[in-house]
Amino acid sequence: MMTTTSAAITLDQLQPGQIATVTTLNSTGLNRRRLLDLGILPGTAITVEMRSPLGDPTAYRVRGSVIALRREQSREIEITLPASVSESE
Amino acid sequence: MITQTETLPTTACATCPAFNSAQLRKLGINTEDWDYVVALAGNPNTGKSTVFNALTGLRQHVGNWPGKTVARAEGGFRYDDANYKLVDLPGTYSLLSTSVDEEIARDFILFGQPDVTIVVVDATRLERNLNLCLQILEITDRVVVALNLMDEANRHGLKVDERHLMRQLGVPVVPMVARRGEGIPELLSAVRQVVRGEFAVRPHRIQYRDLQIENAVNNLVGQLDARFPGLPNARWVALRLLEGDESIEHALAEGTLGDLQRGEAIKSQNERMTMGVVGYGD
Amino acid sequence: MATDTSANDILQTATQLRAQIGGEQYHDKLMEAIYTDAAQIADQSVSREGQRSRLGFDQLLDKALTHPVFGFIVMGLMFLGVFWLTIAGANIPSAILSDLLLGTVYGWLHTLATALSFPLWLSGLLIDGIYLATAWVVAVMLPPMAIFFPLFTLLEDFGYLPRVAFNLDRMFHKAGAHGKQSLSMMMGFGCNAAGVIATRIIDSPRERLIAIITNNFSICNGRWPTLILMGTIFIGATAPPALASFFAAASVVTIAVLGIFVTLLVSAFLSRSWLKGEASVYSLELPPYRPPRILQTLYTSIIDRTLIVLWRAVTMAAPAGAVIWLSSNIYIGDASIAGHLVNLLNPVGVLLGLNGVILVAYIVAIPANEIVIPTVLMLTLTLGRNIAGAQAGVMMELDEGQVYTVLTQVGGWTLLTAVNLMLFSLLHNPCSTTILTIWKETKNVRWTVVATILPIVLGVGVTFTTATIARLLGWV
């Protein structure tokens, strides 16, 4: 089990190079289902792959694939960062 | 727009991969009088269309971006003295989110009752692809998994143990590089095995790890079994009813579901589905 | 008792049980269960050899292609390169084809007709009408298409298009459009009807309508040849010879980029007026790069795209050729039918910096935009015959230089005519196949009409403006 920082942040605040774990999805309806389909659910490890040249959307690496999400979506995904960045998945 | 019927079928295709062509005859769009129906399902951008083209000799355009195939395409092939109709379903990540493409794919696998469903799986994104695969295994156990893009997996330093995967999923798993035609003969023979019942499928069942859900499912499965003895996918129907899936509720109320016992849903469903088919070749 | 269970009983039980489990939570638990199993199986079946995660090369490439600065530069250069190769590469084969089809074969056919003592009207209809229109379509379209399609397909197979969508998404977002609209737009660069069908990947009906209506602003197969020809003989000609094809390519890219700009503008307008609403969320998967298979791509894109599109153009060009020849040779009063039509539309055309011939050509070309240029040439030649003193059959051997001569000398074209034809080529009604597809996909007459009329209104507005400005500044 990973130890986590106390302050919960949302996915849009995740910086490149950090590995985070999804804790809560605040999205609803079809959007929530899409995220679940793509394997973005509580407990999933997620990293930033790259940002669009215009600053949004951001592409995230999740379960081996690269998925681009707009900021309004990533804002609805709560994550935690491990206290010390570990290389385990 | 170029509809599927206008796509020129090939007779001699110079770039076609050299494989066991003695047994395979590509029938292009000629799909009359088939003996078996094969559905082709998979995540977007996993090479479904490539497999479709390799088997039928058609050239549905294959682009490297998700969502390329937005409609259902059909083609045919002849293998080992039997005619197969191959139906390329829209690529989806899931069958549970009720978007249009998912509904097309789901309805065909459920009501179209294909003799085999080939699930094309991206070997480099196995976890995400298994999500769909496991869902399909809940609907039908007549599945062959085409483990595609093995060359990419190798490039990325991934080693996939297809034997272990086969044991876990309980259905044939065929490693493939569809772009180069590798694995097509093995895929065909696996399809034949499943069609003839020569492969003892023992499909993986999802464990819901939640007592409440398991109880609710068992409760409904009991009732479904009583009302529709021999319904092949009662467990999955129960899961959908618990979710309040309207089209399944309709199928139950109207009796379409009952037809699944006897395989009568096939024809009407096929006719209904064909109405909305638009393939495009460019 | 169990055997009496009716469908309604089952539904009732399901409803009760659902209430106990709780809606959205149930779906979450289901997905969690599936992914737990999937992760377990994947974990046990996949082992990593050496380096983890994706190849450094892919990552490096993505860094470059989506770089804040280089991303757009690379994108511009990539498309410029594609068109430059198309234009520069099509020159020689185009000239050879023209020589052959419009020179040798054409002359040979006339000799044959004379030998068989065909009546003049018959040889005119068959050779100067049907054959000539068809031959022009082949000569004008085949070489650029045979270069453009394989190149575009290579980019597509490589996995570049989703990166373009990723780079541009913020603009689409601001325009209130769905993120996947950029993908259906890309598809439209091949064929608008296919692009309209591709909008099925958009779930929200509002955003899908926006994508359908604006798809026409992606330059399609049928329109590239017009742009490439105008760019080559008018724009490229203004530059020093060494830079001619570069200038020509740049002018074509400018129109294509303008098309993207118009797409965004119209999307923004629609999402703030008739199709009000917030952009719904989306997710776009960026696939790994795949080394394109060059030989196979060449083969399939030439067979599937080039020949199919060419065939469509030819089947449209043959009857159009007959119609054009007949209408320019059947006289009512002092002028032919085509002459009357051209004269009728000429004042409007001139006001737009175009002319009557171009407008008539766009009416003839409603079934397929591919035949705009052949129609323009035929009408210019047949109607201008008296003015220029040329005789039928004299100026048929048209290479690009001669096309330029015909258009400027006989048709009275200027640089403004060429620029406005390029603009009008971008901004006019969709072809009839696309209109039919829009209707099929929307089942709505009102939106089909909007999608058809809106581009014409824009086209008229834009060309009128450029023509007026050019005239006020004394450029023309």
Query: Which residue among B97, B125, B128 sits closest to A33, beta carbon to beta carbon?
Result: B97
Same domain, B198 and B233: no
Q: For residues C22 and C369, which has the higher predicted lDDT (pLDDT)?
A: C369
Same domain, B145 and B228: no
Rounded to whole angstroms, how far apart are CA atoms B23 and B106? 31
Question: Residue B189 is encoded by which pair of tokens?
Answer: 């023979």
* Percentage of chain A exceeding pLDDT 90: 54
The alpha-carbon gap from A83 to the nearest alpha carbon of chain C, in Å, equals 23
**Cβ distance of A37 and B94 shorter than 8 Å:** yes
**Is residue A3, in this structure, part of any structural domain at all?**
no
Rounded to whole angstroms, how far apart are CA atoms C173 and C175? 5
Question: Residue C396 is encoded by which pair of tokens?
Answer: 């048929």
Closest-CA residue of chain A to B92: A37
For residue range A25-60, list pLDDT tens digits in order: 998 887 888 899 899 999 999 999 999 999 889 999
Q: How far apart are the first and last CA of chain C?
A: 92
Same domain, B55 and B154: yes
- A30 chain-C contacts, CB cut-off 8 A: 203
Question: Residue C260 is encoded by which pair of tokens?
Answer: 């993207």
Query: Which residue among C17, C51, C186 sits closest to B220, beta carbon to beta carbon?
Result: C17
Is residue A26 less than 8 Å (CB to CB) from chain C?
no
SS3 state of residue B39: strand
SS (H, E, C) B237-273: HHHHHHHCCHHHHHHHHHCHHHHHHHCCHHHHHHHHH
For residue range B120-167, list pLDDT tens digits in order: 999 999 999 999 999 999 999 899 999 999 998 988 888 999 999 999
Q: Are B38 and B84 in contact (CB under 8 A)?
A: yes
- Tell me the helices (H) and strands (E) count for chain B, helix number first: 11, 8
Nearest to residue C102, comparing CAs of C137, C144, C136? C136
Pick the range with the lowest mean pLDDT from B61-75, B140-154, C27-41, C162-176.
B61-75
Rounded to whole angstroms, how far apart are CA atoms C71 and C229? 29
Closest-CA residue of chain C to A62: C285
**So what's the pLDDT on residue C416?**
93
Query: Which residue among B62, B66, B224 sits closest to C285, beta carbon to beta carbon?
Result: B66
The alpha-carbon gap from B94 to the nearest alpha carbon of chain A, in Å, equals 6
Best of C27, C58, C170 to substitute, by most chain A Cβ atoms within 10 angstroms, is C170
The alpha-carbon gap from B48 to the nearest alpha carbon of chain C, in Å, equals 14
**Cβ distance of C293 and B213 shorter than 8 Å:** no
**Is residue B274, in this structure, part of any structural domain at all?**
no
Q: Are B120 and B150 in contact (CB under 8 A)?
A: no
How many CB atoms sit inside 10 A of residue C466's CB? 17
Produce one character per residue of C257-295: b if its CB has 16 or more CB atoms within 10 Å, e if not. ebbbebbbebbbbbbeeebeeebbbbbbbbbbbbebeee
Nearest 5°: phi and psi at B27? -105, 5
Determine the residue type at C367.
P
**Cβ distance of A63 and B124 shorter than 8 Å:** no
**So what's the pLDDT on residue A21?**
94
**Is residue B14, in this structure, part of any structural domain at all?**
no
**Is residue A87, in this structure, part of any structural domain at all?**
no
Q: CB burial class (10 A; 0-12, 13-18, 19+) of residue C455?
A: buried
Rounded to whole angstroms, how far apart are CA atoms C74 and C63? 12
Q: Are C26 and B242 in contact (CB under 8 A)?
A: yes
- Contacts for B227 with CB less than 8 Å, ≥ 6 apart: B258, C3, C5, C6, C7, C10
Same domain, B135 and B259: no
- Tell me if the bond preceding B172 is cis, omega within 30° of 0: no
For residue range C10-20, list pLDDT tens digits in order: 888 888 888 88
* Percentage of chain B exceeding pLDDT 70: 77
- B134 chain-A contacts, CB cut-off 8 A: none
Best of B93, B95, B99 to substitute, by most chain A Cβ atoms within 10 angstroms, is B93
Rounded to whole angstroms, how far apart are CA atoms C244 and C231? 9
Q: Count CA within 13 A, CB hemisphere, residue C296.
A: 16
Total domains present in chain A: 1
Which of B183, B204, B225 is a domain's end point? B204
Q: What is the average per-residue pLDDT within B34-39?
A: 92
Closest-CA residue of chain C to A47: C53
**Cβ distance of C169 and A57 shorter than 8 Å:** yes
**Over chain B, what is the mean pLDDT?**
79
**What is the domain range of residue B233?**
211-265
Same domain, B200 and B215: no
Is residue B97 less than 8 Å (CB to CB) from chain A?
yes
Is residue C78 less than 8 Å (CB to CB) from chain B?
no
**Is residue B27, in this structure, part of any structural domain at all?**
yes
Q: For residues C13 and B209, which has the higher predicted lDDT (pLDDT)?
A: C13
Closest-CA residue of chain C to B161: C45
Same domain, B31 and B160: yes
Query: Which residue among A49, A55, A70 sits closest to C282, beta carbon to beta carbon?
Result: A70
Rounded to whole angstroms, how far apart are CA atoms B95 and B108? 11
- C68 chain-A contacts, CB cut-off 8 A: 53
User: Does pLDDT of B10 surpass 50?
Assistant: no
Highest mean pLDDT range out of B10-24, B65-79, C364-378? C364-378
**Pairing between strand C46-48 and B173-175?**
unpaired
- B214 chain-C contacts, CB cut-off 8 A: none
How many CB atoms sit inside 10 A of residue C119's CB? 9
SS3 state of residue B38: strand
Closest-CA residue of chain C to A76: C281
**Cβ distance of A39 and B96 shorter than 8 Å:** no
Q: For residues A32 and C279, which has the higher predicted lDDT (pLDDT)?
A: A32
Nearest to residue C136, comparing CAs of C298, C324, C271? C324
Same domain, B113 and B169: yes
Same domain, B154 and B70: yes
Query: Which residue among A30, A33, A64 sits closest to B124, beta carbon to beta carbon?
Result: A64
Query: Which residue among C72, C166, C288 sits closest to A59, beta carbon to beta carbon?
Result: C166
Query: Which residue among A33, A34, A41 sits closest to C32, beta carbon to beta carbon?
Result: A41
Q: DSSP letters of C263-300?
A: HHHHHHHHHHTTT--PPPP-EEEEPPP----HHHHHHH
**Is residue A86, in this structure, part of any structural domain at all?**
no
Residue in the structure block whose two tokens are 């490096």: C60
The alpha-carbon gap from B149 to the nearest alpha carbon of chain C, in Å, equals 10
**Is residue B275, in this structure, part of any structural domain at all?**
no
**Is residue A35, in this structure, part of any structural domain at all?**
yes
Mark residue A26 as left, alpha or beta (left: phi above 0; alpha: psi -120 to 50; beta: remaining). Answer: alpha
Q: For residues B260 and C37, which has the higher predicted lDDT (pLDDT)?
A: C37
Same domain, B90 and B113: yes
SS3 state of residue B130: helix
Rounded to whole angstroms, how far apart are CA atoms B77 and B14? 18
**So what's the pLDDT on residue C299?**
79
Is residue C37 less than 8 Å (CB to CB) from chain B?
yes
**List of E strands, C25-182:** 46-48
For residue range C386-417, list pLDDT tens digits in order: 444 344 444 445 667 778 888 888 888 899 99
- C170 chain-A contacts, CB cut-off 8 A: 52, 54-57
**So what's the pLDDT on residue A20?**
94
SS3 state of residue B20: coil
Nearest 5°: phi and psi at C274? -70, -30
Rounded to whole angstroms, how far apart are CA atoms C435 and C213? 10
Which residues share a beta bridge with B146? B120, B174
**What is the domain range of residue A15?**
9-80
Is residue C91 less than 8 Å (CB to CB) from chain A?
no
Q: What is the average per-residue pLDDT within B198-220?
A: 87
**Is residue B49, in this structure, part of any structural domain at all?**
yes
Torsion, Cα B179 B181 B183 B185, to 10 degrees, reads: 150
The alpha-carbon gap from C201 to the nearest alpha carbon of chain A, in Å, equals 13
Same domain, B63 and B41: yes
Which residues share a beta bridge with A77? A25
Give Cα separations from B115 to B87, B108, B119, B191, B251 (angstroms): 11, 11, 13, 9, 21
The alpha-carbon gap from A61 to the nearest alpha carbon of chain C, in Å, equals 10
Cβ pairs A/B, distance under 8 A:
31
- Contacts for B213 with CB less than 8 Å, ≥ 6 apart: B242, C21, C26, C29, C30, C33
Nearest to residue A48, comparing CAs of A64, A30, A38, A62? A62
**So what's the pLDDT on residue C22?**
73
Does an H or E element contain C444, and which?
none
Same domain, B110 and B219: no
- B121 chain-A contacts, CB cut-off 8 A: none
Determine the residue type at B202.
R
User: Does pLDDT of B281 surpass 50?
Assistant: no
**Is residue A46, in this structure, part of any structural domain at all?**
yes
Nearest to residue B85, comparing CAs of B69, B73, B101, B95? B73
SS3 state of residue B157: coil
Determine the residue type at A23.
T
Q: What share of chain A is helix, strand, coil (3-state, %, to 5)?
A: 20, 35, 45
Query: Which residue among A33, A38, A50 sits closest to C62, beta carbon to beta carbon?
Result: A50
Q: What is the average per-residue pLDDT within C263-290?
A: 85
What sections of B123-255 are H helices per DSSP? Answer: 126-139, 150-155, 162-169, 184-195, 211-227, 234-243, 246-254
Same domain, B168 and B121: yes
Please report, for the domain that includes residue A40, its CATH number.
Answer: 2.30.30.90
How many CB atoms sit inside 10 A of residue B270's CB? 17
Q: What is the average per-residue pLDDT within C215-241?
A: 87
User: Does pLDDT of C360 surpass 70?
Assistant: yes
**Is residue A64, in this structure, part of any structural domain at all?**
yes
**Is residue A59, in this structure, part of any structural domain at all?**
yes
Lay out the sheet containing B82-88: strands in order across. B24-28, B73-79, B82-88, B36-42, B116-122, B143-148, B173-175
Best of B128, B134, B152, B240 to substitute, by most chain A Cβ atoms within 10 angstroms, is B128
**Is residue A1, in this structure, part of any structural domain at all?**
no
Listed by number, the residues of chain B in 101-130 with a beta carbon closer than 8 Å to a beta carbon of chain A are: 124-128
For residue range C339-349, list pLDDT tens digits in order: 899 999 999 99
**Is residue B7, in this structure, part of any structural domain at all?**
no
**Is residue B278, in this structure, part of any structural domain at all?**
no
Q: CB burial class (10 A; 0-12, 13-18, 19+) of residue B234?
A: buried
